[in-house]
Amino acid sequence: MRLSQGWLIAVGLVVLALLGFIFLRGPTPAIAIKPETIYSFGKVNITNTIITSWIVVLVMIAIVYVGTRRRDLVPSGFQNLFEAALEAFYNLVVSVAGEKNGRRFFPVVATIFFFVLASNWLSLLPVFNVIGLTKEEEHGFVMEQADVGPVPVSWVGLSGPGNLSGDTIEEDDPDAHERLEEERDKGNLVGELVPLFRGPNTDLNTPLALAIVSAIAVESWGVASLGIGYGRKFFNFGGIFRGLRRLNPGLLFRGVIDAFVGFLELVSETVRLISFTFRLFGNMFAGEVVILMFTFLTPLVVTIAVYGLELFVGIIQAFIFALLTLVFGLMAVAHGEAHAAEEEHEEGAGAMAPEAQS
């Protein structure tokens, strides 16, 4: 019985794969790293990733509104789910940073986490990279078109038994001109599809902006903890000056080491921006490419598994970005507290020295 069930499942998967291969394949996807421009206001370009970012922000605002509009003492339904998610993430932040620092860090860390998560998950909707505007050319995809309000929206047709790669007109096709006229007579368009929606984190600018926000927040927490003296973490030349003033080689050598460590700290802060940016961008862009390619090769079965993997990768990347911001913020505050304790120790030692001499 178990053997027959296994065979039925295997045969079902093969049938689904064949049906997807014959009827649901699109044309070979055009993969571009740079986001496509949808509209321009002078020198300001509105790209598809910007449009998606606005949608993500609106979705987050709507979720917060729905989750907080009633504020029942005993929550239920969506409010219960909303509060449970926030409380779980807040407890995580507090368990890592403590109650005092957790309250300071939570707004920034939570905003980064939920924005990245929403961007990653919404980008898996099937309208992404499928519908958009048409850049008409003499060859390319054959697309159907319909007006959605004032915007003419195009989409690429799927494959069929006689055309397994979707409808396209190749540049070297001897009948290209005749086919182009036929498609135009049918009301179809031929050219390049400019996707209307694309994942924000597949645009290098979005992860870079998030990395800059994260860095500003971390440095702000460090300055708030120690004041302007926090800058000594990067520019620590006090030991060199003390060694030169006292003509003490030991102090001078230690001062050089401290200055070099500060330089390394400055370099690490800069490299952190790069690592934050390319970690998120690389994972999300690679996931988008994998989904596009598997949708072209095997629309069913394998693609569904890839979508499940991308759901997991999306939450992991959001968690990593937010947690690293939290850890670096905690390190900045701990560095400030360590310097404050060191200054108090030096002041106490200086006050005791005259007493010992007397």
Helical segments of the chain, H only: 2-23, 48-68, 77-122, 176-185, 205-226, 238-246, 249-297, 302-357
Residues 331-350: what's their mean pLDDT?
Answer: 56
Q: Give 65's Cβ-side CA count (13 Å radius).
A: 6
Q: How far apart are CA 18 and CA 216, in angstroms?
A: 52
Q: How far apart are CA 12 and CA 5, in angstroms?
A: 10
The DSSP line for 271-335 is HHHHHHHHHHHHHHHHHHHHHHHHHHH-TTTHHHHHHHHHHHHHHHHHHHHHHHHHHHHHHHHHH
Residues 65-82: what's their mean pLDDT?
Answer: 81
Q: Say which DSSP state 247 is in.
A: T
The 3-state DSSP class for residue 140 equals strand
Residue 223: predicted pLDDT: 83
Q: Nearest CA to 142 among 131, 133, 155, 129?
A: 155
Q: How far apart are CA 17 and CA 129, in angstroms?
A: 22
Q: Which residues lie across from 160 on neighbouring strands?
A: 163
- For residue 25, pLDDT over 60 is answered with yes
Q: Nearest CA to 52 among 155, 161, 205, 172?
A: 205
Share of the chain above pLDDT 70, in %: 79
Tens digit of each residue's pLDDT (9 = 90 or more) over 132-159: 787 777 777 777 777 777 777 776 766 5
Q: How far apart are CA 16 and CA 335, in angstroms?
A: 58
Considering only residues 169 and 350, tell me which one the structure prediction assigns the higher pLDDT: 169
Tens digit of each residue's pLDDT (9 = 90 or more) over 80-103: 888 899 999 999 999 998 898 999
Residues 29-52: what's their mean pLDDT?
Answer: 86
pTM attached to this predicted model: 0.79
Q: Among the listed ranges 5-9, 27-31, 258-262, 350-354, which one has the minimum average pLDDT value?
A: 350-354
Q: How far apart are CA 22 and CA 15, in angstroms?
A: 11
Residues 232-254: what's their mean pLDDT?
Answer: 70
**pLDDT tier for residue 117 given thresholds of 50, 70 and 90:** very high
Q: How far apart are CA 333 and CA 327, in angstroms?
A: 10
Q: How far apart are CA 50 and CA 41, in angstroms?
A: 14
Q: How far apart are CA 56 and CA 123, in angstroms?
A: 10
Q: Which residues lie across from 131 on neighbouring strands?
A: 155
Residues 99-123: what's their mean pLDDT?
Answer: 93
Considering only residues 350 and 236, tell me which one the structure prediction assigns the higher pLDDT: 236
**pLDDT tier for residue 241 given thresholds of 50, 70 and 90:** low
Residue 179: predicted pLDDT: 75
Phi-psi region of 34 (alpha: psi -120 to 50; beta: other; left: phi over 0): beta
Tokens in use for 255?
Answer: 């001062």
Q: Are 139 and 336 in contact (CB under 8 A)?
A: no
Q: Say which DSSP state 69 is in.
A: S
Q: How far apart are CA 207 and CA 22, in angstroms?
A: 38
Residue 254: predicted pLDDT: 77
Over 253-266, what HEC string results? Answer: HHHHHHHHHHHHHH
